[in-house]
Chains A and B, each alone.
Chain A
């Protein structure tokens, strides 16, 4: 029986990464390496105002004083920042007929990824900002949204068109001093999405950003800033993929969310960066700082993440619950297969009164994958009647993988109610056989059982993406069993 288990476990590795192709697109790159000059070059390429260059330089100088965090439960190889190209932009063919036209090869790439850039072809009700390497190549439905006062554009455009908004909010949730990777991003970030929902507006479509790394030896450092003004609502989704390469590539992003009084932001991620091959060669290092601030009372920020890709994931989408009665939520499914490592979780910082947070984390480990949940619940002195509920479940497929939980709790107010539940389980042979006996193959059975396990989280995704996420979970675990 053990032999059989080994055989099946071996097949884990047959699950192929479906987005590993590379597109032959000419790109404009700067020399590799990082220095103050490089920061200036990036800023100049983007034609940035002085205040932004200053921000970058301050961040860069601060970064030089910092060290990479050593506390995550991860084995991270040494990263040589002088070997990375910090800016790479697909070369746009000399201007075509209209301003809106984009290079056909770029279009083909995004078509292949299932992200058509023509508005009429896209899923109804989803607007997309498509980012390749260091720049945004197209934002759909910009005009339609603008009619409602919604701003949805690339970060670079926002810097030029809405400098006041960017200046007012950028760095207020994740300061450039926040952590090693946040400082790095603040110095060299290239593009990303900007979104502003004005007072009283319910955004009628899903907004989404699709990140694609294409060029070799480059890093991607994007920044997303999302502001929901009073009484507004928006649901936002990001997806990402990269070609299969033997070298590791660095992705260090920042996402900042600001939710004003009575507003609600749903932020969903389907992370499918190249995870590396079955021997652990290659793959994306995904070191991301995501944080939301519930500034106004009754505001709500909800993070949902399906993490199936990346060689190493280090991310803790968090909520600062400053407004009274504000709510933070974190729903996560993280898969580690083969040699993937993930150290992910959340921080819920309760500052306001009657603030509520919910954490549901579902780790799935297969192959030799290592999966850690790390979560902090902090209740400050004035946060009376704060409530938190945390549930951290781990599912193991096979016996060569690992699951770890690191919950931290700091409570400075007696009236707080904090609950924590944790479980670890294995997919049972009994469950698989039960499915087999009904005519369902082992592969499909595992997909079904894993999706059942993750259902609570998947249900939080926008409908259109829940189906995709289910397929992705199944693919990323193809063949694995315990």
Chain B
């Protein structure tokens, strides 16, 4: 589904990703962990086509296509979804209008007719229930005045509406209370199918208690320095990153 090879990225001339390789197969859940500033969000930015992240080397192939050549909206319509670390407010634009446009743009891209108003509202209702989002949130302007946790839940709701093939969740768990965490995790689990994949960026094992990853990566200083099974997350939780940093430094010296 997604093949990242030796990806190097700089922002404003400063090198941020220094050769990342990552391979995600359909149906897999990958977790990416790593200290603040290591480049996790930058990776998400590159995959979704933000302009400020400049690719200097490497390739990214998504479902057989050169992802880096696609526009951000085409990537979205081809099934890439980003749950933003910091969701954006758009005053005056209703969630209904926003989602309806998004859903119908995607349908158009795939040669489908737009959903009728009633079909669309039915879909909204179903997905709201699926991810247990408060009905009222969907009647407000996009993220406007939402609390931190509400914004994160709203990202999961949008993911449910857009049914992506590859969802990248950037710290969707931070700022959530225990119930909300369960809701977000359940949302992911319910949406998980044999042919869609997730990249879950997180700092905490507790999310991975609910969403069981197939692979856990540690991104450190722009490189994936460790890749292992779900037990790696537990180890990180118990020991922190210091031992990884030491390992990396020793490797460099050796």
Q: Using CB atoms and an 8 Å cutoff, list the residues of chain A in contact with chain B.
A: 1, 4, 428, 430-431, 433-442, 444, 448-449, 451-456
Contact = CB atoms under 8 A, between A and B. Distances in A.
> Among A434, A449, A454, which residue has the most Cβ atoms of chain B within 10 A?
A434
Contacts of B109: 439
A434 B90 contact: yes
> Among A4, A440, A441, which residue has the most Cβ atoms of chain B within 10 A?
A440
Contact of A448 (B50, B72, B97): B97
A229 B238 CA distance: 80
Interface string B224-251: 0000000000000000000000000000
Contacts of B90: 431, 434-435, 448-449, 452
Contacts of A455: 92-93
Contacts of B77: 439
Contact of B92 (A434, A440, A444, A452): A452
Contact of A431 (B49, B76, B82, B88): B88
A448 B93 contact: yes
Contact of A452 (B50, B52, B141): B141
Given A448-B98, A452-B141, A440 B88 contact: no
A453 B76 contact: no
Interface stretch (B18-26, B100-108, B180-188, B200-208): B100-108
A361 B81 CA distance: 37
A261 B92 CA distance: 35
Contacts of A456: 92
B141 A434 contact: no
B88 A430 contact: yes
Interface of B: 48-52, 71-73, 76-77, 81-82, 84, 87-93, 97-98, 101-102, 105-106, 109, 141-142, 158, 162
Contact of A451 (B81, B93, B102): B93
B105 A439 contact: yes
Contacts of B73: 436-437, 439-442
B57 to A, nearest CB: 20
A436 B76 contact: yes
Given A449-B93, A452-B90, A452-B141, A440 B101 contact: yes
19 contacts: A431-B88, A431-B89, A433-B72, A433-B88, A435-B90, A436-B76, A437-B48, A437-B73, A439-B105, A439-B162, A440-B73, A440-B101, A440-B105, A448-B98, A449-B90, A451-B93, A452-B90, A452-B91, A452-B92
Contact of B84 (A1, A434, A440): A434
> Among B50, B76, B82, B92, which residue has the most Cβ atoms of chain A within 10 A?
B92
A408 B162 CA distance: 49
Contacts of A452: 90-93, 141
A438 to B, nearest CB: 4
A434 B73 CA distance: 10
A438 B91 contact: no
> Among A4, A436, A439, A441, which residue has the most Cβ atoms of chain B within 10 A?
A439
Nearest to A442: B73
